[in-house]
């Protein structure tokens, strides 16, 4: 008299074998764990790998019961041990890569990450194209005494939160004036902007030599690329390559999941 198998039991068994075959390829390990799984069993290496990792502990008495049905509750235990689904569970998957990517190339979508955007040297441009200016490999400087603002557009991710704004400048003689440095949120619809952050004050030199000044006070820090572009710049009063702007950097935090 033949026995009819419950389709759900058959599906659970197939799922469990499929998980085992993908996570632990045949032949990856070769250790003996169960009395009823001899070396001649074609699934010997796969079963040994599951036992070695802790995904399965057998059916008792030193046996694996390789032909027994797998219930849905047993399948849940296997999957939890394999994927660390429950609290306090550690994953036992030993795959080095996923679709060719290593684990350090993935980030959690619900975690907060740090980033920065910067510009320097040749990436900065004068606010007024009629102003006279020059550049070296690291410095943008005016060749006329009138004030010039050197600016750049920063590529900030939408939804990021700006946490810090800093500028690196040069005033080798200490006699010129390096005015305020601003981070602007530039409204796309009206071509106007408002300052998100500022450093220093107009007409006041920071110090002598190369120096970096930073601001911890940020206004409206959340980036909205649908409404604004983001431009940072510093005003320089003076002339010559002893004074100028070296670079600007904005730090931010962001979450990939939004």
Q: What is the pLDDT of residues 103-147, one digit of tens each?
A: 666 666 667 788 999 998 778 888 776 668 888 878 888 888 777
Strand partners, 193: 186
The CATH architecture annotation of domain 112-255 reads: Sandwich (2.60)
pLDDT of residue 118: 92
- pLDDT value, residue 175: 79
pLDDT digits (tens, 9 = 90+) for 177-210: 777 788 888 888 876 666 776 665 444 445 567 7
What pLDDT is recorded for position 146? 72
Q: Which of 167, 164, 137 is nearest to 247 (CA)?
A: 167
Answer for the pair 216, 133: CB distance below 8 angstroms, yes or no: no
Which residues in the chain are classed under CATH 2.60.120?
Answer: 112-255
- Report DSSP state, residue 104: G
d(C-alpha 128, C-alpha 217), whole Å: 28
Query: How far is Cα 124 from Cα 110, in angstroms, rounded to an integer?
Result: 35
Q: What is the pLDDT of residue 27?
A: 37
What is the phi-psi region of residue 110: left when phi exceeds 0, alpha when psi lies from -120 to 50, beta otherwise? alpha
Q: What is the largest CA-CA distance in the chain?
A: 104
**Which residue stretches of the chain are H helix?**
7-23, 44-53, 72-83
């Amino acid at each position: 008299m033949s026995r009819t198998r419950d389709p759900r039991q058959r599906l659970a068994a197939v799922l469990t074998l499929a998980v085992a075959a993908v996570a632990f390829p045949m032949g990856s390990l070769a250790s003996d764990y169960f009395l009823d799984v001899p070396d001649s069993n074609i699934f010997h290496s796969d079963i040994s790998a599951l036992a070695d990792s802790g995904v399965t502990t057998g059916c008792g008495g030193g046996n694996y019961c390789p032909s027994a049905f797998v219930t849905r509750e047993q399948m849940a235990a296997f999957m939890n041990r394999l994927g660390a689904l429950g609290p306090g569970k550690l994953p036992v998957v030993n795959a080095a890569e996923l679709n060719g990517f290593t684990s350090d190339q993935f980030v959690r979508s619900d975690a907060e990450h740090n980033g920065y955007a910067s510009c320097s040297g040749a990436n900065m441009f004068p606010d007024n194209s009629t102003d006279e200016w020059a550049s070296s490999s690291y410095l943008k400087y005016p060749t006329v005494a009138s004030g010039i603002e050197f600016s750049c557009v920063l590529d900030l991710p939408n939804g990021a939160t700006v946490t810090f704004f800093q500028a690196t400048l040069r005033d080798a003689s200490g006699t010129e004036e390096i005015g305020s440095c601003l981070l602007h949120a530039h409204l796309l619809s009206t071509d106007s902007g408002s300052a998100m952050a500022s450093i220093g004050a107009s007409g006041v030199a920071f110090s002598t030599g190369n120096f970096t000044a930073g601001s911890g006070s940020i206004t409206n820090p959340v980036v909205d690329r649908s409404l604004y572009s983001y431009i940072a710049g510093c005003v320089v009063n003076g002339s010559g390559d002893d004074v100028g702007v070296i670079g600007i950097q904005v730090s931010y935090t962001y979450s990939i999941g939004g």
